[in-house]
Structure 1
Amino acid sequence: MSRLLISLASLKGGVGKTTSAIHIAGHLSEKGRGGVAVVDRDRTRSATSWSRSGNLPFFVGTQDAAFKRADEFTTLVIDSRGGLENEELQEMAEASDFLLLPTNVEYMSLDAMAQTAEALGAMGNRAFGVLFTMARPGKRLDTARRVLEELGLPVLNATVRASEAFKDASEQSLLVRDVKTNKLAHKCWEDYGEVVQELFGRMEANA
């Protein structure tokens, strides 16, 4: 099985980057992608904190820890640090099979996303896409999608709903599929299933 590298980046915190990394890794593990690792490069170490109970079905650790066990992994999901410079983003995009840029519909998030994605697009790299997280169906989401698409940015059709189930999952150190305290937990898990399916489709198109 060939090695797969998916990276996640954002200029602004609080847009679901770590949540996305954890649940993309969860789906890849479920699909039998061999050894799956989330490489926690964020200063906050949110992914490492999420995994503290050892209940996740994949490895989570720092870059150094993952490097020491590199032979065990065929799939890497990188939870990058925030505030990357354009050059660093481009290097990450070039090293990755896909660079995913989570955002929400807030103006400041969209502004940061436009700057990030435009910089990548200007450098000729199309192996990236924008993912709307914490999404609620309605005019704000439709408008936000239209704004980014009019800028020529690749926006995933899949979105991830806003739900306290993700907070419950983090607090319980679980994947959201395993949360028993929120009736939307399974739907939230399915959202990321659609994200992963679309990622593979886009990677095939970019190959």
Structure 2
Amino acid sequence: MGRHKNYDRSTIAQKAMEVFWRDGFHGTSTQALVDAMGVNRFSVYAEFGNKQNLYEAALAAYDQDVVTNHFQALESDRAGLSDVEAMLLGFAGAAGQPGSELGCFMCNCATERAPYDSGSQQFVHQHVERISAALSNALANAQQAQHIRADVDVKQQGQFLATLILGVFVLLRAQVSAPVVQATAQTALQHLHQLQA
């Protein structure tokens, strides 16, 4: 008869996400994960097999919860320029605030794991595609509403803004001074204004 599970897979993936996000893959020990998740080592290995699989489960949890929370407004049929502007100002406003040193878990993964691990790389590529598509969606809606010029390539602009936002997350992780991050956001807003009809 199998051992009864006294934990929920998604819950422990969430708890692992918090640890990996803060300390990175290499900076996180199995004991730190066990302590944070409140389960024993046997349960961790029985459920996920190894640390890499748990890390990928944590990345999936991040995409489902954190990324969705920040980008679902841009993925909406009603998204527009105001949503893009609000997001840029929101991320810039986080500079120097408690928790901003975490940056973006996917961006942290991009620099730590993606160059060496195909599974992590796939998550990062999907993340870039998702936020590029979300931004392009908002810009396309704005273009349809004639808020953006008809000659603007909204897909290309979405990719550009996604790249810029990923850079902002890296600056937050590195705790670059708030004025630098905020100036970047203001320049992005000026760029958006130049696209307007």
Scaled by the length of structure 2, the TM-score of the pair is: 0.29
Larger proportion of strand: 1
* Higher-Rg member (1/2): 2
Structure with the larger helix share: 2
TM-score normalised to structure 1 length: 0.28
